[in-house]
Amino acid sequence: MDKEIISQWAEAHREEFLEDIKKLVRIPSDRGEPQEGVPFGPGPDAALKKALEIAGGYGFKTTNYDGYVGTVDFLPNNDHHLDILSHMDCVPVAEGWTVTGPFDPIVKDGKIYGRGTSDDKGPGVAALYALRCLKELNVPLKHNVRLIWGTDEECGSGDIAYYYDREPEAKYTFSPDADYPLINIEKGGLIGTIFGEFQADSQLPRIKEIDAGLKINVVPDKCHMEIEGMRKTVAEIYCAGAKEATGVSFTVTELDKNTIAIDAQGEGAHAASPQGGNNAITAMLHLAASMHLPESPQVKAIRGLHELIPHGDYLGQGLGVKMEDEMSGELTLSLDIIHVTPTSLEAQFDSRCPICANDQNMKYTAMRACASKGLALKDIPMKPPHHVPEDSPFVQTLLKSYEKFTGVKDAKPLAIGGGTYCHNMKNGVAFGCTMPGTDNRMHGNDEFAVVDELVASVKIFADAIVSLCGEE
């Protein structure tokens, strides 16, 4: 389709577009308690209903699937050809917003601020406006395109599971919930649980507990350890050495006459990019392993875990699973949850594995490494990778639309460690709306989307829809 016609329409409707995004951002839509007909709480339900109301106002046929998802159809009676998968739920907010309140969207310095502006209300409205553009320009399509708005992407995607139990997948699916140019590879993974059981030892000093981690996909910034029978001054000497070695800070507190607490303060990160943080758990294990403690089964287990996943090893080298391939890159791994008592150790790691990973070179190799340290790795299935070939007509069509409106030449798709809304789609990719080099603080305070990037996405999506679903 003619580039100028699409561009003129999108620019002429810029302010309406932003106002529709604001209507949705004003609705707090993090997951709440389920109610009858409201499976993910009132917030996501209210946002979904408002989105469908907006789409219906533009003349589209809309359907609400029992509060799980809503759909918008361009040609409701035609074949199931293209799904665009977005979501109206958002992550919870925390204190510390500085530009505006999380649900009080504003446009400032070319950016629209508010929770959901980039993830994923802004991109969802961009997809709607692409449909509206084609409708109002009377562009004929041969195949149907369906916009799907979910309500549970942030907490497990139960919404999409419900929907696809009732509807078939389209021939093509893309989700505007990530980065340009396009994500065609999502790594597989193994959520590993390492455990050990042993007899309690009464010799002092001894570790009473180590505890850290809230979510398996978050590199922990804090870790807590309690030791019985060690003086505070002695512990502080060990902590100084561990800080120098790891960059993590340690604070020692006397709990009673015979017990101290040590708290590690590192830097959190997403488990898909563990090198971006400074893991408090592995730093604490480094500290514990450096201490002169009576040899006991517990101490042996802690030192064994430290050797398997040493501080700063985000590539699985200690476990013997370091690997990479040309298409999907390196394996990454982070130790994100731990609980140690006088009689047990349990720790969980999150690994993001390249396409070349399998049971033999990943899971069973890690199991043997754990066994060599007297520990065990729970035998659970690996999560398979997701891969749509770069040379597929679908991927190439989307990349051409991206190149057409950005001026980028020879754009290449991306491989990521994180999972997108399309991970389980047979022919699904993530496509937009964040341009390379933009950090829109997704999931963080002061989340924003660049207005020009959203408007560009309207143009890109409209062109891609015509290329995929237009009359041949």
Q: What is the pLDDT of residues 276-307, one digit of tens each?
A: 999 999 999 999 999 999 999 999 999 999 99
Q: Of 346, 377, 408, which residue sits at a domain end?
A: 377
CATH assignment at residue 168: 3.40.630.10
Q: Of 348, 377, 406, which residue sits at a domain end?
A: 377
State the Cα angle at 28 between 27 and 29, rounded to 5°: 100
- 32 plus 125 within the same structural domain: yes
CB 207 within 8 Å of CB 298:
yes
- 111 plus 50 within the same structural domain: yes
Q: Of 358, 377, 396, which residue sits at a domain end?
A: 377
- 344 plus 450 within the same structural domain: no
| Residue 351 φ/ψ, nearest 5 degrees | -120, 140
Residues 179, 183: Cα–Cα separation, whole Å: 7
**In this structure, what token pair is assigned to residue 396?**
């190439």
Torsional sign, CA 364, 365, 366, 371: positive
Closest CA to 465 of 171, 144, 2: 144
**Count of domains forming the chain:** 2
- 227 plus 306 within the same structural domain: yes
**In this structure, what token pair is assigned to residue 98?**
């500085």
Residues 333, 14: Cα–Cα separation, whole Å: 42
DSSP-based three-state secondary structure for 337: strand
What are the distances in angstroms from CA 20 to CA 47, 71, 128, 413, 465? 12, 17, 10, 30, 21
104 by Cβ neighbours in 10 Å (0-12 / 13-18 / 19+) ranks as middle
- 58 plus 113 within the same structural domain: yes
Residues 387, 380: Cα–Cα separation, whole Å: 22
Residue 150 confidence (pLDDT): 97
Residues 383, 444: Cα–Cα separation, whole Å: 27
The owner of tokens 């731990």 is 338
Residues 456, 465: Cα–Cα separation, whole Å: 14
| Helical spans, DSSP H, in 272-359 | 280-290, 297-308
User: pTM for the full model?
Assistant: 0.82
pLDDT one-digit tens code per residue, 151-177: 999 888 999 999 999 999 999 999 999
Domain that includes residue 328, residue range:
188-377
CB 377 within 8 Å of CB 366:
yes
Q: What is the DSSP letter of 135?
A: H
- 361 plus 251 within the same structural domain: yes
The owner of tokens 């008592």 is 341
CATH assignment at residue 277: 3.30.70.360
- 202 plus 270 within the same structural domain: yes
Helix axes 232-246, 280-290, angle to 10 degrees: 130
In one letter, which amino acid is 253?
A: T
- 281 plus 405 within the same structural domain: no
- 443 plus 325 within the same structural domain: no
- 128 plus 35 within the same structural domain: yes
- 465 plus 417 within the same structural domain: yes
- 287 plus 241 within the same structural domain: yes
Q: What is the pLDDT along the chain (472 residues), one digit of tens a residue?
A: 789 999 999 999 999 999 999 999 999 999 999 999 899 999 999 999 999 999 999 999 999 999 999 999 999 988 889 999 999 999 888 888 999 999 999 999 999 999 999 999 999 999 999 999 999 999 999 999 999 999 999 888 999 999 999 999 999 999 999 999 999 999 999 999 999 999 999 999 999 999 999 888 889 999 999 999 999 999 999 999 999 999 999 999 999 999 999 999 999 888 888 999 999 999 999 999 999 999 999 999 999 999 999 999 999 999 999 999 999 999 999 999 999 999 999 999 999 999 999 999 999 999 999 999 999 999 999 999 999 999 999 999 999 999 999 999 999 999 998 778 888 899 999 999 999 999 998 878 899 999 999 999 999 999 999 999 997 6
Residues 363, 319: Cα–Cα separation, whole Å: 10
